[in-house]
């Protein structure tokens, strides 16, 4: 009850520090992590940028799903220690929607090189993967990171459920290339010029757009057939 009151009464100088439940703290956390990334990021035209989304391949409970994902994160941590993984930045996120029949834990990763070792680890852990190549442009990278670190409006009850499932484990894991100073204050000096230039689309949106494109192609085909059979 005490924590619930802290979240509901979060205000300046008396923050609840509950980024999974509180919009203000969630957005402050996003800006702080983003600023930390930008302070360490050195653009290289040799990078091969790939965006990955990894999640359980079947429906399960929040606790089981999160446990599976942290098992995979431990694998990434081991690959990192052994120098068997490309530079990367990742965050475990849990969304909620009817299409998932509940909670949807998934790991968003931006990779800066060969993703083979990560994809092999995905197979080992029996997880599903979505993969998309991205243009090697600094604004694209910033847009991806901003998306990965976004605040997800779960609400207090669901946010607290996710926090308990995380059991104090960090949701962010990245390679040494992005080690940086930790920012905890309100962030006001961020260059947001990258926003809106390279929109990030979810897998579901891409599927929906593909369906629309297919339907339009069918309609155009019917229309051309109609015109060929009628002379005006």
For 123-173, write each residue's pLDDT tens digit: 999 999 999 999 999 999 999 999 999 999 888 999 999 999 999 999 999
Q: Which pTM value belongs to this model?
A: 0.77
Tell me, what's the pLDDT at 194?
59
Give residue 130's Cα distance to chain centre: 12
Tell me, what's the pLDDT at 183?
45
* Radius of gyration of the CA atoms of the chain, in A: 21
Tell me, what's the pLDDT at 187?
43
Tell me, what's the pLDDT at 138?
92
Using H for helix, E for strand and C for coil, what is the string for 68-133? HHHHHHHHHHHHHHCCCCCCEEEEEEEEEEHHHCEEEEEEEEEECCCCHHHHHHHHHCCEEEEEEE
Q: Tell me which of 3.30.70, 1.10.540, 3.40.50, 1.10.357 is the CATH number of domain 2-200.
A: 3.30.70
Give the residues of the chain that fall short of pLDDT 50. Answer: 183-188, 197-198
With 0-12 / 13-18 / 19 or more C-beta atoms within 10 angstroms meaning exposed / middle / buried, residue 219 is exposed
Q: Domain ranges in the chain? A: 2-200, 202-232
Tell me, what's the pLDDT at 230?
67
């Amino acid at each position: 009850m005490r924590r619930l009151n802290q979240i509901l009464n979060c205000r300046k100088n008396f923050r609840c520090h509950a980024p999974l439940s509180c919009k203000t703290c969630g957005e402050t956390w996003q800006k702080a992590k983003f600023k930390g990334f930008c302070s360490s990021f050195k653009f290289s035209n040799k990078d091969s940028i790939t965006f990955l989304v990894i999640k359980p391949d079947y429906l399960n409970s929040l606790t089981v799903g999160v446990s599976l994902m942290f098992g995979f994160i431990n694998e990434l941590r081991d690959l990192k220690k052994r120098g068997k993984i490309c530079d990367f930045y990742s965050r475990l996120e849990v969304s909620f929607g009817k299409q998932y029949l509940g909670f949807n834990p998934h790991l968003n990763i931006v990779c800066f090189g060969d993703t083979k070792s990560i994809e092999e680890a995905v197979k080992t852990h029996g997880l599903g993967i979505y993969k998309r190549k991205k243009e090697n442009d600094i604004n694209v990278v910033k847009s991806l990171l901003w998306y990965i670190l976004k605040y997800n409006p779960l609400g207090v009850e669901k946010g607290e459920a996710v926090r308990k499932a995380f059991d104090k484990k960090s949701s962010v894991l990245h390679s040494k290339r992005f080690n940086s100073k930790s920012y905890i204050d309100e962030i006001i000096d961020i260059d947001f010029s990258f926003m809106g230039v390279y929109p990030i689309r979810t897998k579901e949106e891409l599927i929906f757009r593909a369906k629309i494109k297919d339907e339009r192609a069918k309609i155009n085909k019917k229309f051309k057939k109609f015109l060929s059979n009628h002379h005006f």
